[in-house]
Structure formats: C-alpha cells, structure tokens
Amino acid sequence: MRNVERGFVLALLAVLAACGDDGVDPITKITAPRVLAITAEPSALALEGELELIALTVDPDGPRSGIGASAPLGGHAVDAVRMRACAPWKFIADPARDCVGDDALALESDAAGRIVISAAKLAAAFPSPPGVPAPPDPWRAALAAGVTLRIPIIAEIDVDGRTLVARRDIDVVETANQRQNPRLAEIRFDGISTTTLRAGQRYVLTAMVDRASLDARPDADPAGALEQVVCNFYSPSGDLDEPAADVEDPDALSPETSAIAFTAGLPGNTWLFIVATDETGGMSAKSVPLTIAAGD
C-alpha cells in the first residue's frame, strides 16, 4: 500500500480525532463536512499537458457542489475553494509554513470548483531548486536525469464556518507514460445493483471496477498484470464493518472488491461515498444516493 499512500495524502483536520475511541464515530461515518478526495484527470501531469483537479467535499446531506452563489439550482455549495501548488524541490511538512511565497503558486478555480493546471505554468514557477541554474526545458531535463517530480497540491475548502485542508500529490511524467484513473463501474448490495435498501438490514457490499480503466502494474510480474485497487467507503447513515476493501483479482473480467458488511440505517434518504485508489496514485470517487425503506 506504500504507493497508494504516496499518491493520495489527505491532511484532514476533521478526521484526526476519529481513532476508534469509545463514543467517537468511526472514520467511515460522515457527521460533518469533510473532503474525501482530490481527484485529478488525468491521474498524472504530462510534460506538455494539463490536468483538472476537483475536491470531493461531502456532509451528511450529500456531496457539496459549486461555490457560493454560483452553485447550480438546488445545489449544495461550499463557501470557497482555494488551491495552491507547492515547489517539487521542497519537503512539505506544514503547508502553512513550507508552501508559501516563492514556493507556492495559487491556482484559479471556476464556479464549479474545478481547477486546471498546466505543466508549462508550473515549470515556469518552479524551474529548478534554489541556487541551481535552470537548464532549457528544466523539467524534461530533470525527468531524463531520473529525478522524481511530484507536485504537492494543497486545498483549503471553506464550508459552514470552518476550513477543511487536504493534500494531493501529483506526479509529472513523460507524455508516453500517462496512466489512467481506476473507474468505479457499479456498487452492489447482496450481489445486486440497487439504491433501495431496508432499514436495519445487513447487506454484503462490493464495488465493481471497470477493467478497461486499469493499467499494468509497474514492474509487473507476470508482465501485464493489472494494478491493485483499494476502495474506501463512507456514509452518513448505517454502519460499515470495514473502512476499505481491495479488488481481489484486478485481472478478472469484472474486477470486484472483497465483501464488507453494510447495515442500513434509519428510513429516509442518505448517501454512500466511494473513493477508489490504485498503486500509482490514480483515483476516482463516486457519490451514490440511497433510499432506506422502513423494515418489514
């Protein structure tokens, strides 16, 4: 799991207390606004390319969509989105201290909270480490020399009077090395794709991943073996007996996670949130509306 942890680092103040103490809600339970993921499309930034970032912010009422008055009709907006890229040459332990001034580049968001970044703009902001003369086309030279270029992205989301902080690291790659995000295909309860459950009933929950969205594992043995994928699950209602499940056989025709148990909560409308992450940091997220019917 080291590669997944490298590719997807969330520094969320809202969940630091969720450590399993008595009386504390499990990390799978959404009880307040939280950033579950910062997704990137594509999953890495090609030298000549661009990349789109968007934060998945949720609360017990569902995903938050849009910013302030710009939210779509009937939308559930956040108050503000700020993101900044950090210099790849500097270790970022405390973003408030280490990703400021010349070591930071503010990124502009559209009304939906989407941010587009380009390798050219980032290379111009961070051409080389301090004190090192920048060669022509510095990032290409760095990659050719075997240097890992990884751009920390710091997101600050203002919502309901608090600021949520999250981090996502983006790899810079040669165009020929571009990789995909794992794509969630279907969520199943007791082997069936459904969004209507019975209150209090215990279900076997699995997630299906689109096999075509999986890349070959780095240094795969056997050659061509597909990347492992981990799915994390969250919900405002009901109980999950495990926070995550692995795709047991990514080379299967229809890759599916191992089963975890989900016990439906009280009758009403709720959500299930799933974040899928692969070995090289590719990520996708899905918000599934659920209807919980009264039990028999």
> Dihedral of CA 258/259/260/265: which sign?
positive
What pLDDT does residue 73 have?
A: 59
- State pTM to two decimals: 0.87
State whether 170 and 191 are in the same domain. no
Q: Are residues 40 and 153 in the same domain?
A: yes
- Out of 122, 151, 177, a domain closes at 177
| Mean pLDDT, rounded, of the chain | 88
Confidence of residue 65 (pLDDT cuts 50, 70, 90): confident
What is the span of the domain harbouring residue 74? 32-177
Q: Which residue has the higher pLDDT, 270 or 69?
A: 270
Contact 222, 279 (CB under 8 A): no
Neighbour count for residue 257 (Cβ, 10 Å): 23
Residue 41 has pLDDT above 70, yes or no: yes
Output the CA–CA distances (angstroms, integers) from residue 59 to 15, 160, 195, 280, in the order listed. 13, 10, 19, 28
In a domain, 10, yes or no: no
- Cβ-in-10-Å burial (0-12, 13-18, 19+) of 63 comes to middle
Q: What count of Cα atoms within 13 Å lies in the side-chain half-sphere of residue 153? A: 29
Torsion of CA 211, 215, 218, 224, to 10 degrees: 70
* 4 within some domain: no
Give the DSSP H/E element, type plus range, for residue 114: none
Same domain as 190, residue 171: no
Same-domain check for residues 109 and 143: yes
The strand ranges marked E within the chain are 34-41, 45-46, 50-59, 62-63, 80-86, 104-107, 115-118, 150-159, 162-173, 184-189, 196-198, 202-209, 229-234, 239-240, 244-246, 260-263, 268-278, 283-293
Kindly calculate the radius of gyration of the chain based on its CA atoms and give it in whole angstroms.
Answer: 20
How far is Cα 237 from Cα 265, in angstroms, rounded to an integer?
5
At residue 218, the pLDDT reads 78
Claim to verify: residue 115 and residue 190 sit in the same structural domain:
no
Look up the CATH number of the domain holding residue 106.
2.60.40.1940
Q: Are residues 247 and 267 in the same domain?
A: yes
Q: How would residue 8 be classed by pLDDT, with cut points 50, 70 and 90?
A: very low
Whether 184 and 233 have beta carbons less than 8 Å apart is answered as no
| Domain count within the chain | 2
Give all strands of the β-sheet with 268-278 in edge-to-edge order: 196-198, 283-293, 268-278, 229-234, 244-246
Supply the pLDDT for residue 248.
85
Q: What is the pLDDT of residues 96-143, one digit of tens each?
A: 999 999 999 999 999 889 999 999 999 999 998 888 888 888 899 989
Confidence band for 194, pLDDT divided at 50, 70 and 90: very high
Sign of CA dihedral 113, 46, 95, 60: positive
Q: Is residue 270 part of a domain?
A: yes
Higher pLDDT, 129 or 211: 211
Which amino acid, 227?
A: E
